[in-house]
Amino acid sequence: MSVENECEDLELQVPKFSMLQEGAKVIVAGPEEGKTYSGKHGYPCKADLALDSVNPSEYEALIISQQVYLKVSSVLPTTRSSYRLIVDLLIN
């Protein structure tokens, strides 16, 4: 999952907690590892990893918010092997 300042809290928190409730291991990536980001309504979320250290082949799913999707939608790949492009777009 991705996080950044001013993300829509529900778009981050609801999928995150739903995945956790089902027993998934959820990793949150942000611009800086270890930094706590604040959503539009003030809910904090700490980044477990920096986006530039994400290796998409190590994960079963990539969950991105609408805010992030809008940044990358014009070049959004449809294959797992292209997820690196998404990560590169998020950090640049």
Per-residue pLDDT tens for 32-46? 999 999 999 999 999
Q: How would residue 50 be classed by pLDDT, with cut points 50, 70 and 90? A: confident
Is the pTM for the entire model greater than 0.95?
Answer: no
**What does the alpha-carbon distance between residue 43 and residue 31 come to, in Å, rounded to a whole number?**
17
Evaluate if residue 31 carries a pLDDT over 70: yes
For the chain, the maximum distance between any two Cα atoms, rounded to a whole number of angstroms, is 35
**For residue 6, is pLDDT > 60?**
yes
In angstroms, the CA 54 to CA 6 distance is 21
State the chain's mean pLDDT as an integer: 77
The residue to which tokens 């992030």 are assigned: 68
